[in-house]
Structure 1
Amino acid sequence: MRSPVFKAEVYGPMSESGAQVIAISDMQPAVFKTLLHFIYTDSLPAMSDLEGNDHSEMIRHLLVAADRYAMDRLKLICQSILCEGLEVQNVATMMALADQHHCDVVKEACIEFISSSTMDDIVASQGFVELKRNCPAVLVDAFVKMSIIHKK
């Protein structure tokens, strides 16, 4: 199995209790379907029916699922896709997501994006307001890293 968490649920001590159903909570059915597709095929399904923000939202949810079920390859794929879609309006939100799910690739891409963008636009975004309120340590870390980048 691609997920050690699923493997433990299916073959671990819980399986000996006779439980026939594994409950998956806090995940949208479409995300779980995509997760299962990846587990069985080692690839993401075509998501041509999803456009713009819907596609990005699916990838964000898939990243959370990959982190939850310890699926490192899927997590890396999601990080790569999210890095390509960084914009002024979503960079602060992506940085918070990256911090919460230990995604150094996304976090570094966000820091590079912020350091090469107009700070006024980023600071004016709702994501920045939420990042400042909910994750001030992430913001401090980002500013420290940006100052190191600018010194080079």
Structure 2
Amino acid sequence: MASEHHLIQIAATQLRCPMGSSASCWSSNIGGHDWRCDYTTNPSRGTWICDDFITKEDLEQPEYRLADGPFTVRFDIALKPFAAKATDAFVTVPPPNLHQHLGNLLECKEGTDVTFQVAGGDMFPAHRCVLAARSPVFRAQLFGEMKESKQTAGGVIVEIEDMEAKVFGSLLRFIYTDSLPEADEDDGPMVHYQHLLVAADRYCLERMKLICQEKLCSHICVDSVARMLALADQHHCSGLKEACFDFLSSSTNLDLFTETDGFEVLTNSCPAVLKELLAKLATVLIFE
């Protein structure tokens, strides 16, 4: 709520100005609106005034001692947010459900025109237009030269040998519904989201990549931080990398980390990351 107050000083002699005389005594901008205060001496009866102010006759009484001295008026202005009157809802609009329809389309397999064969031989029918609309990599692959695919009587078959069925299934589910299924705790959610992050980066699914980073940030520990840093560096995950750096800004965590095999692996495989980490830690120590 925007508010202001102003003190306006008016000389008693100004009250004796000719009838109807007016002057501007104050202006300001409050709440994004321009405001101005004018005063009028001896106003006509048609003038809109506030009846709560003191009258001229009272001001001229001896007890107020306003023979030739000034008097001060304080204005307090407060702008309250306008609350629109609630109206009856005659039409109720349901939330968007496009993701549900597309998820059903994936499940029923109606109209599919491409099939993906992943490691282990599992087959995943899909719709080329949906995949191309969501991923520039799929668009180039399915509507370009199709070097990774082969034609059969039943349509296009694309072989993906370096991705597990569960990971590719989650990838397809995200493409159709814009959400990821919850990872099974028994299967190791951290490893699953690592694989999903790699898949998201491969097919340029940026939102899925960010979701995976967010999930992995909650699994950073002394034993996993080296793998997380290597993954973040390889797939350009700035958020995950910063979370790892923040974890290692604790001297206790850093001491424990340097005693792990992961620290040695990171030193040999990602020296640039280690150098960046040391620079970050040096900055923290300087400001502390």
Same fold (TM over 0.5): yes
* Corresponding residue number in structure 2 for 1:147: 282
1:12-37 per-residue CA deviation (whole Å, 9 max, x = no partner) reads: 2328x974222212111111111111
User: Is 1:39 the equivalent of 2:175?
Assistant: yes
Which runs of 5 or more residues in structure 2 are unaligned?
1-132
Superposed, 1:85-124 pairs within 5 Å as 85-118=219-252, 119-124=254-259
1:30-86 per-residue CA deviation (whole Å, 9 max, x = no partner) reads: 111111111111001132x334x7110000000000011110000000001111111
User: Is 1:61 the equivalent of 2:191?
Assistant: no
- Say if 1:134 and 1:28 are closer, same or farther in 2 by CA, change over 3 A: same
User: Aligned to 1:14, what secondary structure does the other structure show?
Assistant: coil
User: Is 1:3 the equivalent of 2:135?
Assistant: yes
Quick one: higher RCO (CA 8 Å, sep 6+), 1 or 2? 1
Q: Which is further off, 72-81 or 126-135?
A: 126-135
Give 1:78's aligned amino acid: C
CA shift at 1:117, angstroms?
4.4
* Corresponding residue number in structure 1 for 2:218: 84
Give 1:92's aligned amino acid: A
Give 2:160's aligned amino acid: I
Q: Partners of 1:13 and 1:124 in 2: how far apart?
A: 50
Alignment TM-score, normalising by the size of structure 1: 0.90
**CA RMSD, Structure 1 to Structure 2 (Å):** 1.8
Which runs of 5 or more residues in structure 1 are unaligned?
none
Give 2:163's aligned amino acid: M
Q: Which is further off, 75-84 or 2-11?
A: 2-11
Q: Write 1 or 2 for the structure with the bigger share of strand.
A: 2
1:115-151 per-residue CA deviation (whole Å, 9 max, x = no partner) reads: 1242221011222121011111110111112211222
Give 1:44's aligned amino acid: L
Q: Are 1:112 and 1:146, in contact at CA under 8 Å, matched by a contact in 2?
A: no
User: Aligned to 2:236, what secondary structure does the other structure show?
Assistant: coil
Larger radius of gyration: 2
Q: Are 1:92 and 1:128, in contact at CA under 8 Å, matched by a contact in 2?
A: yes
Q: Partners of 1:149 and 1:25 in 2: how far apart?
A: 44
Match of 2:145 among 6, 10, 13: 13
Q: Partners of 2:213 and 2:176 in 1: how far apart?
A: 20
- How many residue pairs end up in the alignment? 149
Q: Write 1 or 2 for the structure with the bigger share of helix.
A: 1
